């Protein structure tokens, strides 16, 4: 009988320690309250993850937490969006935090399950999984030839609006597709 008591006490202590470790991983938030997260590397890549922006606009979002040790220029798009959406945001000191999480979107109500992906997939990995070059992400906002623009539209339609299609006038003025240039360099 005493062994069960010790086992229950030990198990409670272990569960408490696991919860505290998990909390320090998600910027002092419980995992069940976090809807999405980005790593420091994703924030420092200079890309703005539209999924986070859309998540901030949802009514279930309570606030956003970001690590204070990440350069402000990389957090600025998310801070501006939080202000525009009237979502509270907080910068957290990373003194007692573990892991590489740099931003979390916290919900008002906890999720029922913890069996979900919280950290967003890297955009470069999405392009690679779709059979496209990772380098596409370097050229967001630029014009692509019809071939490469249509490849993005077909394989990752959600990212199609991040590019424009080269026109005949662009070609007459010497503008070329950066992906075609990349392919030429790789084939040398």
Q: Name the domain boundary from 83, 107, 131.
A: 107
Tokens at 112, concatenated: 């029922």
Tokens at 171, concatenated: 């070609």
How confident is the model over 170-178, as a mean pLDDT? 90
pLDDT digits (tens, 9 = 90+) for 103-156: 999 999 888 877 778 888 888 899 999 999 988 988 998 999 999 999 999 999
Rounded to whole angstroms, how far apart are CA atoms 10 and 16? 10
Examine the domain organization and report whether 103 and 136 are in the same domain. no
1 pLDDT above the threshold of 50: no
pLDDT digits (tens, 9 = 90+) for 59-102: 999 999 999 999 999 999 999 999 999 999 999 987 777 888 99
Q: What is the pLDDT of residue 97?
A: 77
Angle at 181 between CA 175 and CA 186, to 5 degrees: 175
133: containing domain:
123-186
Neighbouring CB atoms inside 10 A of 117's CB total 8
Examine the domain organization and report whether 21 and 85 are in the same domain. yes
| Domains identified in the chain, total number | 2
Examine the domain organization and report whether 93 and 181 are in the same domain. no
């Amino acid at each position: 009988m005493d062994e069960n008591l010790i086992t229950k006490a030990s198990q409670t202590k272990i569960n408490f320690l696991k919860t505290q470790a998990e909390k320090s991983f998600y910027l002092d938030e419980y995992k069940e309250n976090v809807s999405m997260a980005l790593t420091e590397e994703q924030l420092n890549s200079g890309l703005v993850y539209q999924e986070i922006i859309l998540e901030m606009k949802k009514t279930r979002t309570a606030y956003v937490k970001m690590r204070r040790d990440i350069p402000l220029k990389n957090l600025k798009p998310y801070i501006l969006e939080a202000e525009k959406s009237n979502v509270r945001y907080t910068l957290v000191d990373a003194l007692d935090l573990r892991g590489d999480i740099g931003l979390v979107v916290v919900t008002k109500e906890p999720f029922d399950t913890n069996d979900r992906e919280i950290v967003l997939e890297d955009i470069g990995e999405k392009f690679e999984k779709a059979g496209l070059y990772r380098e596409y992400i370097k050229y967001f906002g630029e014009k692509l030839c019809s071939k490469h623009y249509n490849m993005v539209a077909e394989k990752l339609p959600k990212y199609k609006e991040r590019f424009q299609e080269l026109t005949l006038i662009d070609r007459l003025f010497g503008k070329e597709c950066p992906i075609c240039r990349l392919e030429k360099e790789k084939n040398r």
